[in-house]
Amino acid sequence: MTTQNASTNVTSALGKLQTAALRVLRGNDLGRSTKPAPQLYPHQWSWDSAFIAIGLAYHDLDRALVELETLFQSQWKDGRVPHIVFNPDAVDYFPGPQRWACSDVSDAAPSDPHTSGLIQPPVHALAAWRICELDIASGEKLQSRLRDLYPKLMSWHRYLATGRDPEGMGLVSIYHPWESGTDNSPRWDVPLSAVKVGEIPLYTRRDTKHVADASERPTQAEYDRYLWLVECLKKCRYEDERINKDHPFIIKDALMSAIFAAANRALQRLSSHLGMPDSDRKQLQSWEERTRQGISKHSWDEKTRLALDNDMRQGGTKIVVSTCAGLCPILIPEFNDGLATICERIMGGDFAGHQGFKFAVVPSTTPGTPGYKERAYWRGPSWPVINWLYWHAMREHGFTRQAERLRQGNLDLLLEPEAKFGEYFQCSSGQQLGSADQSWTAAVAIDWIESRSR
Ligand code: 9WN
């Protein structure tokens, strides 16, 4: 085959992948928001929608912005952006609005539609800035709507910097593994094992109904703990002050914090483009700087060369485990000179360069680490969105060669005929796990394909 033929074949395979990705996003479209997956996740999820907006932006800027606007319509009065906005037409999901009871116990929570009482990583400003950049290139038609969204993003960031960091450590606190987005990661095994489960109202899981192999989902014991933590949060009326006093699970989440730093940089860019006051940018810079220091001082671990989470119920002790979250300093703008080492780590033998992997993709957990399971939820398989975050950050920092290898590894995996835009993938075989037709996988695939020409 000539070089020209080979490159025509690659272009046509990627063109087909892109068409299929768009089909997934259209199939999961609820009108003004997108469900993460056809059956398993029938509502709107916070960070999923940010990734979805990034992918949609190339094809329909207006619809991409609607995705964020819809989510922020359900922002709580205290600034938090809920992790789920419930779709009233979808009943086949547990825990649903009644179990969360947010608007029953908190005046800050909206009731139409209902939401959960948790948060998820703040990827939203990255999406808003992407929409703005593409809008600038296509004649600035969405600027006034971006101006309306901007104060909501500011108040979301303010909530994270204050409500979720009362100690001023420069790190964001989470109250539940679901807040981390890496729900069942071994990161949470030790702190969860210290949680004493009390009486939980009876419940029936729905997730295992939609995923044929239950071993790909959390165990029953883990699920009981998740629901017990929801009961505890409800008892505290979702108020940060009470939670800080009484809640049994409070962790300074390194990955969430690093994403917050990247989002503060993106929001500075948006603020500057929209001509917002200098004081906003000073504020955003100070939050960004505080996170840089917080990660260096409290979570960076010289021994493992990873960023670790701090268990605040154990005096801030570091949770030692090797997961994809440990690589998060790459996300922090101007972190320090150690970034080249982290970049090597991302592509090295513990992660994307592991000798047993079929493709060069970052696993959720390093093989062999305590708690590692090859096919289980966040305990081994690879999540394309995490790969996207690290790819994007390596590119931003100028590590283009490594970024390109990671992008290629992910596209090779997604081009496999049975990949079907899976929720996650077994690293040794590339087998699709969890749900198929996962929206955010389709969205990041679009961005990886589009980025070839950027
Ligand atoms: C609970 C939707 C969400 C993602 C999370 C992922 C998973 C939910 C679940 O699915 O979480 O929020 O039921 O397990 O862990 O990151 O946002 O895709």
Q: What is the pLDDT of residues 102-131, one digit of tens each?
A: 999 999 999 999 999 999 999 999 999 999
Q: Is 183 a residue of the active site? A: yes
pLDDT at 336: 83
Instruction: Of 105, 59, 50, give the one whose Cα is nearest residue 83.
Output: 50
CA distance to 98, 101, 223, 376, per residue, from 197 (Å): 20, 20, 11, 23
Please list every protein residue whose CB sits less than 6 Å from any atom of ligand 1: 36, 41, 45, 47-48, 83, 120, 178, 181, 183, 207
Ligand 1 atom, smallest distance to 182 CA = 15
- On the question of pLDDT at 152 being above 90, the answer is yes
For residue 5, the model assigns a pLDDT of 74
pLDDT digits (tens, 9 = 90+) for 356-393: 999 999 999 999 999 999 999 999 999 999 999 999 99
Mean pLDDT value across the chain:
96
Segment 43-65 mean pLDDT:
98
For the chain, the three-class secondary structure string (H helix, E strand, C coil) is: CCHHHHHHHHHHHHHHHHHHHHHHHHHCECCCCECCCCCCCCCEEHHHHHHHHHHHCCCCHHHHHHHHHHHHHCCCCCCCCCCEECCCCCCCCCCCHHHHCHHHHCCCCCCCCCECCCCCCCCHHHHHHHHHHHHHHCCCCCHHHHHHHHHHHHHHHHHHHHCCCCCCCCCEEECCHHHHCCCCCHHHHHHHHCCCCCCCCCCCCCHHHHCCCHHHCCCHHHHHHHHHHHHHHHHCCCCHHHHHHHCCCCEEEHHHHHHHHHHHHHHHHHHHHCCCCHHHHHHHHHHHHHHHHHHHHHHEECCCCEECEEEHHHCCEEECCCEHHHHHHHHCCCCCCCHHHHHHHHHCCCCCCCCCCCCCCCCCECCCCCCCCCCCCCCCCECHHHHHHHHHHHHHCCCHHHHHHHHHHHHHHHHCCCCCCCCEECCCCCCEECCCCCHHHHHHHHHHHHHHHC
Q: List strands edge to edge, sheet with 251-253.
A: 172-174, 251-253, 309-311, 317-319
Ligand 1 centroid–CA 329 distance in Å is: 23
With a cut of 70, say whether residue 403 has pLDDT above it: yes
Pocket mutation for ligand 1, best pick of 24, 28, 45, 386 (most atoms within 8 Å of C-beta):
45
pLDDT for the residue 8: 79
Provide the percentage of residues in the chain whose pLDDT is more than 70: 99
Residue 12 structure tokens: 């046509």
Is residue 30 predicted with pLDDT exceeding 80? Answer: yes
* Residue 112: predicted pLDDT: 96
pLDDT at 1: 62
Split at pLDDT 50, 70, 90, the class of 79 is very high
**pLDDT band at residue 293 under the 50/70/90 scheme:** very high
Q: Cα–Cα distances in Å, from 41 out to 36, 439, 440?
A: 6, 10, 12
Contact between residue 424 and residue 22 where contact means Cβ atoms under 8 Å apart: no
Question: Per-residue pLDDT averaged across 7-18, rounded?
Answer: 89
Residues recorded for the chain = 454
Q: Are 50 and 36 in contact (CB under 8 A)?
A: no
pLDDT at 9 > cutoff 90: no
The pLDDT score that the predictor gives to residue 25 is 98
- Which atom of ligand 1 sits closest to the CA of residue 183? 15
**Banded pLDDT at 91 (limits 50, 70, 90):** confident
Closest CA to 389 of 179, 183, 251, 182: 182
* pLDDT tens by residue, 189-236: 999 999 999 999 888 888 877 777 878 788 888 899 999 999 999 999
User: What is the rounded CA–CA span in Å between residue 85 and residue 219?
Assistant: 25
pLDDT at 453: 66
pLDDT of the residue at 197: 94
pLDDT of residue 454: 66
Q: Does 412 participate in catalysis according to the annotation?
A: no
- Predicted local distance difference test score (pLDDT) of residue 206: 83
